[in-house]
Amino acid sequence: MPEPVDVALVSLGTTPGLRRADEAFAAQLRATGLTCEVRHVAIGAAGRLRRHPLVTDLVEAVAARRAARGADAKFTVFSTVTASLVQPRRAGSYAVRFDAPAALNRPGPAGAWQRPAERRSLSAARFLLPWSEAAGAAAPGAAPRVVVPVPVAPPAPGDGARDIDALAYAGNPRKRGLAAVCAAWATVPAGTRLVIGGIERETGLRWLRRNRVPEPPGVEWRGPTSHAEWLATVRRARLFVNASVWEDYGISQLEALSAGAALVTVPSPGPYAALPIARGLAPGLVDDDLAAALGLALALDEAELESYRAAAMVELAPYRPDAVLDLVREHVVPLVRGG
């Protein structure tokens, strides 16, 4: 009989960011010498029921329970709180990795059953693996926690051309604040160029009409692309613009900072990892008045932007793959092994 793997990672993977985070964490575990099997969650036909958080989380939690069933592993890591909610309670046999707990992102009636289930699940875990300090502080229970950020690769070499004035991502136009981005862009000087990625133009325009915001001049629409193509586009941008109504973490903002784009953002609520970095780099570029922040950012000259980029590289040192791997090797592996 084959030996059980050291870790089964139950990957809900409902967004590209979650999938990339799970792949990176599995690779880190393997790099330490542990064996790891990724158990991908298949939602199936029940996915059509996902219209409200109460039902969405239940459908995904049940699917994660199916994915975990039959895993031949010494230890299990659930990649989100949702994936852990209806699993059998085997105290001390699992950990939970998450960007934001239900205590933060499921307030009010929308989290009526999830928050109590979360308290039970996290209390029975051997340890917790929040992506950020803010997420870890908000998680209920007394289980030990180790903050393991999603690694952000150093900037790839390029030709240095930055021919895009500003870039925004709007794969989910409501969550990403597409209407707010376009309303702010309507105030910038003529001749500036905004590229909006992750959404087709017609879909974006429907959302703008719904919110009674006209399409501003100077906008180019990029539909969904591969991650590699997206990062190549980010490397051409002087600014990255964000108006998210909520941020569970903010991978795209950290990647933009790493690629050399200055982050212009509203102070989105949630455990937004890039927000304190952005405030420290240039407080004026973090403002509820996104138009004012954009005006300041577009007025920066190349020397000022280069200084911003150099400071951002220092702030991102804890997010580099080697730094995260050292953290996993030193603090996570002993907990997995029961030490």
- For 230, what's the count of Cα atoms within 13 Å in the CB-facing half-sphere? 21
- Domain boundaries of the chain, sorted by first residue: 5-151+320-336, 164-318
Which among 217, 263, 268 has a CA at the least distance from the CA of 238? 263
With a cut of 70, list the residues of the chain below it in pLDDT: 1, 45-50, 158-160, 339
Tell me the torsion sign for CA atoms 313, 23, 124, 329. Answer: negative
Q: What is the pLDDT of residue 90?
A: 83
Q: What is the pLDDT of residue 236?
A: 95
Q: What is the pLDDT of residue 91?
A: 83
Predicted confidence (pLDDT) per residue in 177-235, tens digit = 999 999 999 999 999 999 999 999 999 999 999 999 999 999 999 999 999 999 999 99
Q: What is the pLDDT of residue 45?
A: 61
The encoded tokens of residue 250 equal: 């903010």
Beta carbons of 17 and 79 less than 8 angstroms apart: no
Q: Does domain 5-151+320-336 have CATH number 1.20.1070?
A: no
| Domains 5-151+320-336 and 164-318 agree in fold | yes
Q: Which residues, 6 or more positions from 190, have their beta carbon under 8 angstroms from its beta carbon?
A: 217, 218
For 81, the enclosing helix (H) or strand (E) is helix 81-84
Residue 227 DSSP one-character state = H
Torsion of CA 169, 109, 89, 71, to 10 degrees: -30
Q: Which residues, 6 or more positions from 321, have their beta carbon under 8 angstroms from its beta carbon?
A: 24, 28, 151, 153
148-163 b/e (C-beta count within 10 Å ≥ 16 → b): bbbbbeebeeeeeebe
Q: What is the pLDDT of residue 339?
A: 61
Q: What is the pLDDT of residue 49?
A: 60
Three-class DSSP category at 70: coil
CA gap 36, 30 in Å, rounded = 6
Q: What is the pLDDT of residue 46?
A: 60
Q: What is the pLDDT of residue 81?
A: 97
3-state helix, strand, coil in the chain (%, to 5): 45, 15, 40
Helices (H) and strands (E) in the chain, counts: 15, 10
Q: What is the pLDDT of residue 70?
A: 84
Three-class DSSP category at 242: strand
> At the top level of CATH, which class does the domain 164-318 belong to?
alpha beta
